[in-house]
Amino acid sequence: MASQFVYYRPREVRGNFLVGIVLDLGENETGVVDVARNRDQHCGSCGRQRIQSTRQSVTKRNGRQEIYEIDNLLVGDTITITLQDRQVQPVQRSLHTATMEGFTHEMLPFEHQGYVWEVVPLNEIYLFDLDRAKVPFAVLFDRPTPISLSQSPALPERHSRNTRRDTHSTRTLPMVREQHMVSAPGAQRFPVLSSSEYGAHAHFVIPGMGVFHLYGCTIHIHYSEPDY
């Protein structure tokens, strides 16, 4: 299982949300969740959130999962997730803002003495809208990306991108142009999340079982024509 940002609308009321957050942290990683509610009076539960429960990570050696539950979220309220590795000074921050239709998800830059990391990609966060589907609709990492097959940049290009300001928006979800599916025995077909120039690599989500990574193996992919 990877880190997750999950939300739904109690009694299907638009603009009103209950959010669950799972931070899947490695041995050297820490996470902080902050809430800012847009209210005329003090909400009583803003600021840094308490961890509701913890459990062992199933994907990271000596890792753990920290679980948060946040209710009473309305349009204009925000959640900030900060992730840090003890061996990396820049931190990953993402801003999640409630709207009438759902949430916007934005990666925030890290600045140090005039230098700017547009994003610090330490930990992928999978985004779920449970009123729409039980599987993630996008992954938040170097930018919000729909669940579709994509090409990741080579390492030198990524370092260059992370140390300067870019012209692309990290807030708007791009449109899905392709929908490739990978099947698993005894499960439904789930979208491939990404591919890499480093070699044959794919990973996919099976609810209740976690995120599966495939390297150097035969992958049977079912293609479907994109819907425009």
Query: pLDDT of 130-188, one tens digit each?
Result: 999 999 999 998 766 665 433 333 333 333 334 333 333 344 333 333 333 333 444 33
CA separation for the pair 97, 74 (Å, rounded): 9
Report the number of distinct structural domains present in the chain: 1
Range of the domain at 82: 3-224
pLDDT at residue number 143: 65
Residue 65, pLDDT score: 96
According to the model, what pLDDT value does residue 112 have? 93
Q: What is the pLDDT of residue 151?
A: 35
Residue ranges of the chain whose pLDDT lies below 50: 148-226, 228
Cα 41 to chain centroid distance, Å, stands at 31
Residue position matching structure tokens 């992370």: 162
pLDDT at residue 57 in the model = 94
Residues contacting residue 107 through CB under 8 Å, at least 6 positions apart: 92, 93, 94, 118, 119, 140, 142, 143, 144, 170
Neighbours of 118 (CB within 10 A): 18
pLDDT in the model for residue 39: 85
Do 148 and 132 meet the contact criterion of CB atoms below 8 Å apart?
no
Question: Which amino acid, one-letter code, is at 68?
Answer: Y
Determine the pLDDT at residue 93.
96
Structure-block tokens of residue 176: 């899905």
What per-residue confidence (pLDDT) applies to 1? 63
